[in-house]
Amino acid sequence: MTRKIAVVLALLAWLPSMQAVAAPRTPASGNEVIATLPRQDDGLRALRAAAAAAPADPLPALALARRYVALGRGSADPRYYGQAQAVLAPWWGRPDAPNDVRLLRATLLQNGHQFDEAQAELRHIVGTDPRNAQAWLTLATIQSVQGDVPGAIASCGRLSSLAAQLETFACLAAAGANTGRMRGSEQLLELGLERAGDTAPETRTWVLTMLAELAARRGDKAAAQQRFLTALRVAPTDSYLLGAYADFLLDQGRAADVPALLRAHHRNDALLLRHALALRAMGRHEALAPARAELQARFDAAARRGDAVHLREQARFTLHLLGDARAALALAQRNWRVQKELADTRILLEAGLASRDRAALQPVLRWIRAQGLQDVVVTRLVERAS
């Protein structure tokens, strides 16, 4: 893909959201500012130059692709992932690609919810390089998301001799979070954080966010609030953390606190959804209308692209903002076939109850019982479904 085509595709990806915000208009004068673009990252510029200067060398391409992935994680902007894939295009489909390329390819496949393909890449890596800690951690993460607890624990076990103790504890806690071992997972994380001392900010954010979510699942509002705020001091713009805290606030009837929290993050679909849910809870229907229209435009654009990454969010949008329980149930079922995290389970229960389809609820109810899943909100939903 040429640079010009990549730029055009990036702009096209942005157009649906721009069109939904406001109708076209002519500026009053040439001095009027109509948009403010992000500042060019000087480090990114240097990485691009290095990759362009050595197109046959995977090392500068990997450095640039990793930077794009980091930017995508920080902003939840999917265009960065597309740019990372474009950088790796010369090696993308090659069976003899270096393991470093395969690992990044697995990360990008994981981000696109192509979990089977990502696992195939990771199993190739650990088969040829069994001491690759990042591959074991990524494999465990995918297994946890898909509900393969024994597989995730086994992968975490392989990680234990290769990574810091806190990372291993976090891996095991994530694997056990949706089982009857949830409280043990929380205690393991607390112990790991206490012992860790100085840790990388991204690891500390991951652990603090997980601890906050686990406290919320037990119904310990005070502990969850304190942990969320501590995590936000470490990473105030982390998109996953902001979404998790916004969900906590919504569950606690504190919708009025959500718009300020997410004010600068409306380009992120998941966070715009939380903003809209808060407006609905507050009865701010006039402000809700444009946010709902914007979300509809983004989900329609994703459907045209064949993008199924945000099925969970689309199910929430369809149920709570459009009021279409049957359509929401269909989306939640499609999503749950791919991933089985707590939020995936919860929206499936909510949509099934709203549509009064008890037959659709039976698989998820059996899975909850088999796993021993613990969460105060899900427990209430299960009681209603039983």
Q: State yes or no: pLDDT of 104 exceeds 60.
A: yes
For the ranges 15-24, 68-77, 135-144, 357-366, the lowest mean pLDDT is seen at 15-24
pLDDT at residue 3, rounded to an integer:
34
- Binned at pLDDT 50, 70 and 90, residue 85 comes out as very high
Summarize pLDDT for 119-164 with one digit per residue, the tens.
999 999 999 999 999 999 999 999 999 999 999 999 999 998 999 9
- Binned at pLDDT 50, 70 and 90, residue 29 comes out as low
55-58: list long-range contacts, CB under 8 Å, 24+ apart: 55/90, 56/90, 58/90, 58/91, 58/97, 58/98, 58/100, 58/101
Summarize pLDDT for 270-329 with one digit per residue, the tens.
999 999 999 999 999 999 999 999 999 999 998 888 777 789 999 999 999 999 999 999
